[in-house]
Amino acid sequence: MQHQNLILDTDSYKVTHARQYPPGTERVYSYYESRGGAFDEIVWFGLQYVLTEHLLRPVTQDDIEEADSLFSSHFGDRTLFNRVGWELLVQRHGGRLPVRIRALPEGTVVTPGQVLMTVENTDAEFFWLTNYLETLLCQVWYPATVASNSRAIGKIILDSLKETGSPEQLPYKLHDFGFRGSTTAASAGIGGCAHLVNFEGTDTVRALVVARDYYGEPVAGHSIPASEHSTITAWGRAGELDAYRNMLRQYPTGLVACVSDSYDIYAACELWGTTLKDEVLARSGTLVIRPDSGNPPQVVERVLHTLGKHFGFTVNPQGYAELPPQVRVIQGDGVDRDTIREILRVMRMNRWSANNIAFGCGGGLLQKLNRDTCKFAFKASAVQVAGQWRDVRKHPVTDPGKASKAGRFDGLPTVYENGELIVREKLSDIRARASLLQT
């Protein structure tokens, strides 16, 4: 595995910025915010991971040599790399970063436009370091956006549960199916961990590792035995019934999920509700039937209708139908915030309780996002020159939405200072702050 060299973890142009500040610059103070975008609420999460992963290892002389060699070739000019500055950092601070980072506690839920994090250098010789770190620190956009996306979906599900069922079921109503669609195992880990701020169901094992190693949570999420198409189609179409019966007999208790659309989801529901009905109802646990193709709202409604016809249903106090507890449905194909909203709308219209369904979300949870989803931005808002602080900001006439803030925002707690992580949050505390069930 290639070792990390923090000097190289930046944008090329930042290597040249030390010369560009006014003479006498001593401090650069910057902040991070979401300027708006897709969600009404932002869940602040992931900074502890970024700091632990990238900013705790001291810079070494070997790092400087590597950077000098690379940048000399990259720019075609050996003088552009600030070798003197980095060597002074190693000599004076042992390679530890003379930087102070303040931030909201993770799991805090805010409206867009709030300051989430501030960064400033603590040694006047290293004024250029504050915004050199922007590239790495901006990476927190991803877990914060996933957590915000997960929360937004959770609010839709919770509203439906409040109207038609049992709100306390929320933690297991949105299951993370996103590992295979992620760009890297690392992104799946921190993105999946961000989802676990709001929910407790996941199939992204790397998310459990991140939650354990970076946020002190021994086991942050849970899953169940489940089939995939290969384990069903391996029996052949003529053996479909045997494949389903095998699932029931291999897992006679507890939850078990079975994908049932390898051939004909509606015919499969007939099998579950007729030939296999007695075995399903005799289990000490719940069979979760998974459709995996077609138009999600239409398919879910017809699946529920077919299962209700064979297994029966009760009407809960809110006036909505619920299948017997031995049978439920999970929709895991084509799932995102919009399709979940529409599926639940169609279910309400047909008087089905949201208790009957859970959702498995992959790309719509971890991948259909970018930094502009929540318009995250890192901007300088104050500089100290020759002992005097001055406010700075951008305000482009061509786009007022990109206007930045001016001044200092010192009310946030310090989480990192001079190479040390000052605050180590536990996922359990982060979850408590962000909990939808407290709203």
Radius of gyration of the chain (CA): 26
CATH of domain 145-366: 3.20.20.70
> What CA–CA distance (Å, rounded) separates 144 from 411?
21
Domain ranges of the chain: 6-140+371-438, 145-366
Q: Which residues, at least 6 apart from 374, have a Cβ–Cβ distance to it below 8 Å?
A: 34, 35, 36, 37, 38, 39, 42, 112, 141, 144, 145, 148
- Residue 245: pLDDT band by 50, 70, 90 thresholds? very high
What integer pLDDT is reported at residue 122 of this predicted model?
A: 98
Q: What is the pLDDT of residues 97-130, one digit of tens each?
A: 999 999 999 999 999 999 999 999 999 999 999 9
Stretch 7-29: mean pLDDT = 98
What element of type H or E holds 287?
Answer: strand 284-290
> Percent of the chain, pLDDT > 70?
99
119: Cα separation from own chain's centroid = 23
Same fold, 6-140+371-438 and 145-366: no
Asked if the model's pLDDT at residue 142 lies above 80, the reply is yes
SS3 207: helix
Residues ≥6 apart with Cβ < 8 Å to 118: 29, 30, 31, 32, 101, 102, 103, 408, 409, 410, 412
- Given a cut of 60, is residue 170 above it in pLDDT? yes
134-147: average pLDDT: 98
Give the mean pLDDT of the chain: 97
6-140+371-438 is a CATH 3.40.30.10 domain: no
